[in-house]
Structure 1
Amino acid sequence: MTYKMLVSDLDETFLNDDGTIHEENVQMVKRAVAQGFKFVPNTGRSFESVQEMLKKLDLYNQAGQYVISFNGSAIVENKNNRVIATQDMPISLAKQIFAAGLINDAVDVHIYTLNQLFIYNVSDSDKKYLETRGATYENLRSDDLSFLDTAQPIMKVIFEHPDMQVRHQIHDAVIASVGADQVEATYSSDRYVEFNFKGVDKGTASLLLGEKLGITQDEIMAIGDNNNDLKMIQAAGLGISVANGIPAIKEAADVVTARTNNEGAIAEVLNQFVLMGE
């Protein structure tokens, strides 16, 4: 099989734990792209937060190169950050999720609009994590969300807490409030529980981008490490887990890399399936 596109999660997959990029990943991506291959970051984060990374890969402001953001809520062409597809969340639903998930005062909440991140009750650990990812945000001083009525489209709402048990409680509280038929709920980075509008996920967006580019499902590879990558890995022609992936991702994947994210797992994949050891 000739693969034409790799959709790749970023945190704990393409990026090192400290947010940097393994140099072998950089070189292999550049070589693959030079041959006409598509390397598409597929991230829960905003497309604006990955611009410095794109510069290192020579993908910044390039026509015909793309980023999938917000767990699939937006597909963006890198040239002038041209948004080619979005699926936003109703404002009323976002407000309901926000209220239901604030189960204690140690929980912080991210609200992503198309071009801005708002955070309420941001924790110290979250601040440090976001700094390593180059993410900028507006700190909300109040839980009054009336400003959203005139804001840009809402992409997703997520909650941060270091305790997985608390994250499960947040998940259950939100589902009890809004209903499982209204949201896609996932976990990521061992700190977040994320909510997108129902039907929005990394896998659906990957196939949509492939369709727009004339790339079939069988010609798409997907690689990730965590729960919000599951549907992407299941949707692709070849689903791949990095060596540090959680058990559910490894089980769903067709291939598990020998390398972790810190060891250049993407370079391993591109060398094996695209560059064929060149």
Structure 2
Amino acid sequence: VHVEGLAFDIVKQLFDISLRYYPESCIHVYTLDELYMWNVNQDEKDYLQPRGVEWTELQEPNIDFLKDTPITKIIINVNDMDKRLAFNEIARKEIGDKFKTTYSSGRYIEFNNISTDKGTGMLKLAEMLGIKPEETIAIGDNSNDLPMIEAAGVGVAVRNANEQVLSKADYICKRDNN
């Protein structure tokens, strides 16, 4: 539909920062049609496999082969929120404000193109389909869903959404996303 990915040099720097500061973390690099992962531990497999996620496991911590491939985002599994926040601070000091950061699933820090989020994606799709923004509905649970919930005509949070999402939602579901 529409893609605004991350520049390879930014992805490479984020990958390298993760290796230096959080070497135990699993790193996800998403292209248009493939997920490449480094340092896939059993916890990550147990989380992703029931969700039907497929990936290619990197055999070495090197993504140079993706230099000419559009990359949509990079996600790092850092299970502690304080460490995710620290990672973001380190990345901004080393790289600058060249990316957008969100957090999801109580385990990930996500890095996307500075002008990309679920809200802009939803509005772009609505425009392509001839749907007015006020006629859209978005459902979410985490900070990466917040721009979409705010942009939608009706923003919905599942019952177990984080507080930030719950406070912005027009409607809160009676059930959670489990």
Q: Which has the higher contact order (CA 8 A, sep 6+)?
A: 1
Q: CA RMSD in A?
A: 1.2
Question: Quick check: 1:259 aligned with 2:178?
Answer: no
Aligned with residue 26 of structure 2, among 108, 111, 114: 108
What does 1:180-259 correspond to in 2, within 5 Å? Answer: 180=97, 182-259=98-175
- Equivalent-residue separation in structure 1 for 2:41 and 2:107 (angstroms): 11
What does 1:86-125 correspond to in 2, within 5 Å? Answer: 86-102=3-19, 103-125=21-43
Aligned with residue 78 of structure 2, among 157, 161, 165: 161
| Letter of the 1:122 counterpart | V
TM-score normalised per structure 2: 0.94
1:97–1:177 Cα contact (<8 Å) kept? no
- Equivalent-residue separation in structure 2 for 1:223 and 1:195 (angstroms): 21
TM-score normalised per structure 1: 0.61
1:114–1:154 Cα contact (<8 Å) kept? yes
Which portions of structure 1, spanning 4 or more consecutive aligned residues, are displaced by more than 6 angstroms? Answer: none
Aligned with residue 57 of structure 2, among 139, 142, 167: 139
Shift of 1:122: 1.5
SS of the residue corresponding to residue 144 of structure 2 reads helix
| Letter of the 2:73 counterpart | K
Deviation string, structure 1 residues 118-149 (Cα, Å, up to 9, x no partner): 11112221111111111111111222222112
User: Once the two structures are aligned, what percentage of the paired residues are identical?
Assistant: 38
- Equivalent-residue separation in structure 2 for 1:238 and 1:127 (angstroms): 34
SS of the residue corresponding to residue 168 of structure 1 reads helix
Task: Give the gaps of 5 or more residues in structure 1.
Answer: 1-83, 263-278
- Equivalent-residue separation in structure 2 for 1:161 and 1:138 (angstroms): 20
Larger radius of gyration: 1
